[in-house]
Amino acid sequence: MKWDDDLKEGTPVYNFASSKSETICSVAGPGTGKSFAIKRRIVRLMEDGINPKKILAITFTRTAAKDLKTEISSLAIKGTESVVAKTLHSHALSILMRNEVIEKTGRFPRMILDHEINSSLHDLDDSDFGGIKEKKKLVGEYLAAWATMQIDDPGYAKNEIQEKFEKRLINWMKYHKGMLVGEVIPLAIEYLKYNPACEAIGYFDVILVDEYQDLNKSEQQFIKLIRGDAEIVIVGDDDQSIYGFKYAHPAGIQEVDKLHGKYEAIPFDECRRCPTTVTKMASNLIAKNPNRTLGDLIPFKTNPKGDVNIIQWSHHDEEIPGIVRIIIKELKGGLIEPGDILILSPRRIIGYQLRDYLLAENIPVKSYFRESTIKKAEVQKAFSLINFLSEPDDCIALRYLLGVGSSSFRAASYKKLVSEAVKRKCTVREILDLILKKKVVVKGVAALLKHYAKILEDVIAIKDLLKTSPETLFEEKFITRDELEIEFYELNQIYQDIIAELGIDEAKDEGTQQEWIKTVFNKMQELVTNPEIPDDIDHVRIMSLHSSKGLSNKMVIMCSMIDELIPYLTKDMTEDEVEHHIQEQRRLFYVATTRCKGDSSYSGKLIVSSFTRIFGTKALQMGIGANPKKDLRVTTTRYVSEFGKAAPTPVLGTTLI
C-alpha cells in the first residue's frame, strides 16, 4: 500500500498525510478520521526514508497509546511495528530512569495512589498548610507543576507556602520511598531544562501527539523540550477536553504558536462515524460552549440518518427494567449482537443495577467502572493490605494501613515511630517488630501497635486461605457485608480474571506463594491504575461517560441523564467554577453522544434516557441532596434541550417497549 492510495487530493486526510510542514496542528472532531490520517502520514514518512524507530507517537492514556499502536501495526507494512507509541508519562519516566535522575535525587519510582496520599496530608502538620481540603489543593497544584490556572509557566512555585509544602511533601515521599504519578513530568522538565545536551532532546525525527487537549500546561511544555529539531504533529480537539479535574489545558491547542512557532492548520470537521442526525444534534450542543476552535461538526452525506430516541420514565425504578426490555427487543430483531451495545451511566450504582437485570435475562454483560475501582474506604484498605502482603517493605502501603480507620490517621503516634526509626537508622516496620518483641519501648503508640498486630493477623489469615482456596479471597476476607459486594465488584473481577490466567497452584504452595502474590498484585495494580477495555467484545458494555472516550458502538444508551447528575453541581462551587463545570460537562455529554455509529447494515441507534422521580434514599447514594423518606423530583439534563431542532421530540420510555 502506498500512502496516497485512494486518497483524494485536497481532502483533510490527503493534506495531513502529504504536508511537509515542520509543525502541524490538526483540530479533529469526533469520528472525523484522524486515526486513518495518522496511519497514512506514517506510511508517507516511511516511504520518504524516515526510520520508523525515530517516529514517536505519544498520547495521554495507556489505552489511547495501545489503540494508536494497534492502528499503526494494522498497516501490515514492514517497519511499522518499530514505531514508538507510548504515553507521555511513560516516556518521561523512561528518560528519568535511563539517566538515573530519580536515583540521584533520592527518589523511588513507586507510584503513590490517590487514596495513599491521605496519610501524608495528616503527617504534614504545618498550620500554614491549612486543613486536609487545603492540602489536597496544594498537592493538585504541585501535580500540575503550579500551573493550575494556566496563567504562569510550569515548574515554579508561586508563593512561600507552596514552596514550603513542596519541600515537606518531597521529604515525606523520599522517606516513604515513593512518588506521585503526576510528579514525573515536573521532574523530567527540570532535568531537561538544565541538561540541554541530553540525548532525549531531539532524539526522534518525528513526533505525533494525539489528544493534545487532555494535557496540562506542564505536559505541553515537556513535549516542547523533547522536540528539539523534530517535525511535530499535534492532534486534538478542545471540544473533547473532559479532564479539567486533572488540570488539562485545552486552550493549548489554540496557542500552539506560543510553544512551537508558526504552524500549518489542517482541521478535520466531517464526522464519518455518526449517523447524520446524531452529528447535527452534537454540533448544536457543543456550539453552546464559548471560545471553541473547530466550528460546526459536519455530517458525512452518505451516512445513514440513524434512529435517535429521547425518552423519559416516570420513576428511576422503571428506567432500569425498561431499558433492559428495550435491549431484549433490539437483540431479538437480529441485526445486532450484545457486543454492539454500549450503555453509559453517570453513576456506578446505576450501571450495576442494569448489569444485574441483564444477567438475570441471560444477556452477556460486563461493567467497566475501573476508574472508581478503589474509591471506597473498605476497598482501599483491602487493596493496600494485598499490596503490603505482596511487598512487606512497602512503606507507603504500611503507612496507609496504620492510619486507616482513624480521623487523624494516627499521625501523632506515627510521628513518634518515625522519630525512633530515624534515630535507630531502621524502618518503621522494623521498629514496630522490635516493639512487639519487647526489645524497644516507645511511649504513646499503644493504639497504633494494636492496629499493626491486627494487620499481621490479617496477613497470616490471607496466606492460610490462599493455600486452600485462592478464588474465594474477596468473599471470605473482604466482602463481609452484603452492601460491600457492589463496592468490591470491579476489584474482585480484576482479581478473578488475573488468577484465571495465572493459575492458582503456586498460591497453594508455600515455596511459591509469595512470588504468586507479588505477581497477582502487580497485575492488579496495573489494571486498576491503567484501566483497559478488551479488544474482543461479545457482551454488552456498561461504563461511565468518561470511560467511553475512544469507543464507538452501533447502539448507545445514555441512561439516567438527569440534570442533578449531569452537570453535577455542588453548593461549594463559586460562580466561575459552576460555569466552567457546566462547559466541561457539556463537552463530556458531547463525547458520549458521538459514540454512536452506523453503517449499511444497521443505521445506528442512540437512546438518551431520564426519569422524573427517584427514591430519596437512592438519590442520596448518588450524591444528590434529598429527603430519604420522600421521592425526589428531578428533570432531564439541560443538555438535551441544547440538541436543538435536530433532535426528535422526547417521548415516554414505554413507547419503545
Place of cell 506510511: 43
Instruction: For residue 534, give the 3-state DSSP assignment.
Output: coil
pLDDT tens, residue by residue, 552-572:
999 999 999 999 999 999 998
Q: How far apart are CA 501 and CA 499, in angstroms?
A: 5
245-259 residue pLDDT tens: 777 888 899 999 999
559 and 323 Cβ atoms separated by less than 8 Å: yes
Grade residue 230 by pLDDT with cuts at 50, 70 and 90.
very high
Instruction: Name the segment(s) of the chain with CATH classification 1.10.486.
Output: 377-529
Give CATH 3.40.50.300 domain extents, the chain: 12-93+189-268, 276-369+535-656
Looking at CATH, the fold of the domain delimited by 12-93+189-268 is given as Rossmann fold (3.40.50)
What pLDDT shows up at residue 149? 38
Query: What's the chain's length in residues?
Result: 657
31 touches 273 (CB < 8 A):
yes
Give pLDDT tens digits for 504-549.
999 999 999 999 999 999 999 988 877 766 667 899 999 999 999 9
Q: Does residue 267 have a cis bond before it (omega within 30 degrees)? A: no
Query: Is pLDDT above 90 for 453?
Result: yes
| CATH no., domain 276-369+535-656 | 3.40.50.300
Q: Which of 529, 522, 527, 500 is nearest to 389 (CA)?
A: 522
pLDDT at 309: 98
CATH of the domain spanning 377-529, picked from 1.10.3470, 3.40.50, 1.10.101, 1.10.486: 1.10.486
Q: What is the mean pLDDT of residues 206-227?
A: 92
CA distance 241 to 249: 8
Average pLDDT of the segment spanning 25-48: 94
E strands present in 290-446: 298-299, 307-313, 341-344, 365-368
The pLDDT of residue 65 is above 80 = no
